[in-house]
Structure 1
């Protein structure tokens, strides 16, 4: 099969021919329908080498935002059948450390929560992806895997940030989303779907992004600056707001920079 692989530090990836992996016990082979390109991929390509203590080995296939259809089930796998549309949860934890047992595999104490496409594990920028355990698969139902793939990181990052503030976003509250790019736009939609916030405000330096923010659910869209600060203070009667800030958000693979 063809795979887009990271072969050498600070060198462009290469499209290479590699064997189709065979799923072992508990593993699932997914035929990839969509693989997102994340800014983390660019950071990785620009790095001079692995971080101290990081055992990343090359080459490996890029792509940690993946969705597709189940191709083959390894021995012992239940709950899925060939052809099922699935999205792949990105952070692959060990499953047995304290964090993993609490359902926080993105903070795995053994693997660091790095999954396919990161840390030396083959990802989904290939025709097939070997998923190490069926618990990393989420059924998609009628959602198109090609459109769903970025939700496994970009969508999950915004969800993670919003989820941590839901207890503060009761009826009558105001949520201010600072940064209305891809993550911010997803955050606005998630706020609308999950929170009881009465008003969602988007703040950005780009007018075109603010236009999109209004279309996806923001009640107000403000250009960043002193006037935006004044407007928000007036709206909240200077009592404070809850903020989702993409530039400082913690995603499934760690802080977003």
Structure 2
């Protein structure tokens, strides 16, 4: 099979490797869609950090896959050949408290392995996954929908659930990349009457508006936000930072109204804040929110089908597996939406197809 590896230095290495065979409790997928995440760009494509959860082990890249089940190993009971599935991108030990709660992202066991980081991921014709990591796609959702849910939309939904967003809440989103746009789309679906977005990039502000992810998009200047969010107490009831930048994080905190709720989602950045003035005296509730759980992701898939909301609308560019290098180049330019690698049905692997 064809598979894309990320050797660092902004390179992609496409290789022919042996087809995997499912073992006990494992499932073999014909990959149909595998999108590119900002963390892949930051920590693997450009350079290898080599530490903790971001320790890339030279495996097939891609942690946002969805595909068709073409074979199952012994002991597989829930998933069957022919199922259309999305892959929860962390395979945990299954025994620690975090795993048993469904938050494999926070697994504390030595067996924790992320697809595309410590075990082979979705940038290949075939993917070997653990049954426990798979969620069946509702019929109305596409493979590309599933791939976008696998990390970005799941992360956005978890953050909004943490801050308990509803129709009573105006929402401020700082950082209008794919995750920020997902936050905006989901906040609207969950009832928010106003979503305001900030991003220094005019291209990303324009894209967020075109997608309908935000009602208003500004560069982030304090005066602009004060004018937009001048309700009782000033500021939005809910803010979600997706920038991963200290300046964006501080903007989110400063422009949340008294007794408001904030979720910090964007990875990275250094934040310096006057704790008394910004947090304590204004009675803010601040959540650090890292990806999501399998239970919450299952809930999200059901809700997306019910809402008629298709995450694939965030995808601005798609490429075949032979164009993986170009896909990463376009994603790294950060001027468009989500970038995906896709497999048309007539080009799918034929091994053991139903």
For the criterion TM > 0.5, the same-fold answer is yes
**1:94-109 alignment to 2 at 5 Å?**
94-109=93-108
Q: Which residue of 2 aligns with 1:145?
A: 143
Moved more, 237-246 or 81-90: 237-246
Q: Deviation of residue 161 (structure 1)?
A: 1.7
Partner of 2:2: 2
Return the offset for 1:13: 3.3
Q: Does 1:124 align with 2:119?
A: no
Inter-CA distance 177–125: structure 2 relative to 1 (3 Å threshold): same
Alpha-carbon distance in 2 for matches of 1:171, 1:55: 40
1:199 aligns with 2:200: no
Verify the 8 A CA contact 2:72 2:81 in the aligned structure 1: yes
Matched, 1:213 2:208: yes
Supply the distance in 2 between the matched residues of 1:57 and 1:84 (Cα, whole angstroms): 29
The 3-state SS of whatever aligns with 2:243 is: helix
**Counterpart for residue 229 of structure 1:** 225
Paired with 1:244 and 1:112, the residues of 2 have a C-alpha distance of: 32
SS of match in other structure, 1:235: coil
Aligned-residue offset at 1:228: 1.8
Secondary structure of the 2:91 match is: coil
Distance 1:53 1:204 in 2: 28
| Contact 1:180 1:202 (C-alpha < 8 Å) held by counterparts | yes
Using the alignment, how far apart are the partners of 2:19 and 2:4 within structure 1? 13
Conservation of the 8 A alpha-carbon contact between 1:31 and 1:70? yes
Quote how far apart the aligned CAs of 1:83 are: 1.9
Provide the rounded CA distance (Å) in 1 between the counterparts of 2:147 and 2:167: 32
In the TM superposition, residue 148 of structure 1 has moved relative to its aligned partner by 2.7
What is the distance in 1 between the residues matched to 2:197 and 2:51? 36
C-alpha distance in structure 2 between counterparts of 1:163 and 1:223, whole Å:
26
Could you tell me how far apart the structure 2 residues matched to 1:53 and 1:233 are?
37
Partner of 1:41: 40
The question of whether the paired residues in 2 share the 8 Å contact of 1:69 and 1:85 is answered with: yes
Instruction: Tell me, in whole angstroms, the C-alpha distance in 1 between the residues paired with 2:156 and 2:16.
Output: 35
Map of 1:41-190 to 2, 5 A cutoff?
41-42=40-41, 43-47=43-47, 50-51=50-51, 57-58=57-58, 60-111=59-110, 114-119=113-118, 121-132=119-130, 134-142=131-139, 143-166=141-164, 169-190=165-186
Give how far 1:49 is off.
Answer: 5.9
Any idea what SS the aligned residue of 2:67 has? strand
The question of 1:242 aligning with 2:238 is answered: yes
In the aligned structure 2, how far is the partner of 1:212 from the partner of 1:45? 24
Shift of residue 52, structure 1, vs aligned partner = 7.3
* Other structure's SS at 1:47 match: coil
Q: d(CA) in 2 for partners of 1:236 and 1:177?
A: 19
Matched with 1:26 is 25
Following superposition, the deviation at residue 99 of structure 1 comes to 0.9
CA distance in structure 2 between the aligned counterparts of 1:218 and 1:67, rounded to whole angstroms:
27
- TM-score for the superposition, normalised by structure 1: 0.84
- Mapped to 1, the partners of 2:48 and 2:78 lie a distance apart of 42
Distance 1:23 1:243, change over 3 A: same
Name stretches of at least 5 consecutive residues in structure 2 with no aligned partner.
Answer: 245-264, 266-288, 293-354
Q: How far apart are the structure 2 equivalents of 1:155 and 1:111? A: 27
User: 1:177 touches 1:200 (CA, 8 Å); kept in 2?
Assistant: yes
Normalising by structure 2, we get a TM-score of: 0.63
